């Protein structure tokens, strides 16, 4: 389990958001001001994956305004990533998505994040990494189960809130909601005024 630990670093060949292919893309050098969302998907030119990737791309501005970069990873080559980006959405492609796609052809990154399935493809792993490299949130879905990208935006908000205020975020917390002091009194106070909303 990686939550509370430092995110494994990597340097790999990557297709950038502008379509340029670079061979020295480093995770830690590409953090946003407040961290990074690193997500794995099984394969290019598949089925659930494009819906997730397009959903992430449509929310890149939401992540960026929070100071968080988005990075995608699969075991495909940079050439496959590039070809998929150049394939129109109407033809099963992802179009020119607004974040980098890392080529993990050796499967070492998926292995380091413990999402490699049967030494074949990555499960749908999503990792929220704080600006200091600490993994704060992780969720791993089986291959048929698509992610909710809005939930990752919410988790970024919870991380930023706790980092700024030192309070904890109760169930269902969204930006603008009241936080909770992590004490017996804090829990009692929160539940007294919010129990009916849970």
pLDDT (tens digit per residue) in 91-143 = 989 999 999 999 999 999 999 999 999 999 999 999 999 999 999 999 999 99
How many domains is the chain built from? 1
Q: Which helix (H) or strand (E) holds 153?
A: helix 149-165
Residue 143 confidence (pLDDT): 94
192: left (phi over 0), alpha (psi -120 to 50) or beta: alpha
Say if 83 falls within a structural domain: yes
Q: Which residues neighbour 178 within 8 Å (Cβ) at sequence distance 6 or greater?
A: 190, 193, 194
**Three-state SS at 122:** strand
Q: Which range marks the domain in which residue 136 is found?
A: 11-147
What's the CA gap between 61 and 57, in Å, rounded?
8
Residue 88 confidence (pLDDT): 92
Q: Which residues neighbour 124 within 8 Å (Cβ) at sequence distance 6 or greater?
A: 39, 40, 41, 42, 48, 52, 115, 140, 141, 142, 143, 145, 146, 147
What's the CA gap between 43 and 54, in Å, rounded?
14
DSSP state of 166: -
Say if 46 falls within a structural domain: yes
Residue 167 confidence (pLDDT): 93
Say if 85 falls within a structural domain: yes
Say if 164 falls within a structural domain: no
Q: What is the CATH number of the domain that holds 22?
A: 3.40.30.10
Asked if the model's pLDDT at residue 181 lies above 90, the reply is: yes
The confidence band for 195, taking pLDDT boundaries of 50, 70 and 90, is: confident
Say if 160 falls within a structural domain: no
What's the CA gap between 90 and 102, in Å, rounded?
24
pLDDT in tens, 140-177: 999 999 999 999 999 999 999 999 999 999 999 999 99
Buried b (16+ CB within 10 A) or exposed e, 166-198: ebbbbeebeeeeebbeeeeeeeeebeeebeeee
**Three-state SS at 175:** coil
Say if 132 falls within a structural domain: yes
Say if 186 falls within a structural domain: no
Residue 196 confidence (pLDDT): 87
CB 153 within 8 A of CB 60: no
What's the CA gap between 147 and 161, in Å, rounded?
23
Say if 130 falls within a structural domain: yes
169 an active-site residue? Answer: no
Q: Which one is catalytic: 12, 49, 71, 159?
A: 49
Name the β-bridge partners of 102. 14, 73
Residue 131 has φ and ψ, to the nearest 5°, of -60, -25
pLDDT in tens, 44-101: 999 898 999 999 999 999 999 999 999 999 999 999 999 999 999 999 899 999 999 9
């Amino acid at each position: 389990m990686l939550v509370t630990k430092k995110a494994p670093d990597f340097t790999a060949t990557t297709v950038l958001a502008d379509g340029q292919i670079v061979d020295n893309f480093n995770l830690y050098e590409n953090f946003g001001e407040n961290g990074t969302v690193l997500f794995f998907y099984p394969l290019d030119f598949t089925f659930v994956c494009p819906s997730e990737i397009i959903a992430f791309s449509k929310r890149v501005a939401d992540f960026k305004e929070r100071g968080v970069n988005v990075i995608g990873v699969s075991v495909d080559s940079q050439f496959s990533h590039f070809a998929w980006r150049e394939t129109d959405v109407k033809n099963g492609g992802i179009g020119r998505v607004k974040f980098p796609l890392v080529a993990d052809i050796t499967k070492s990154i998926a292995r380091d994040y413990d999402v490699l399935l049967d030494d074949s493809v990555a499960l749908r792993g999503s990792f929220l990494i704080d600006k200091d490299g600490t993994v704060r949130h992780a969720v791993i879905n089986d291959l048929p189960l698509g992610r909710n990208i809005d939930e990752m935006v919410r988790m970024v908000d919870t991380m930023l809130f706790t980092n700024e205020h030192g309070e904890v975020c109760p169930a269902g917390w969204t930006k603008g909601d009241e936080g909770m002091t992590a004490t017996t009194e804090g829990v009692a106070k929160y539940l007294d005024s919010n129990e009916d909303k849970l």
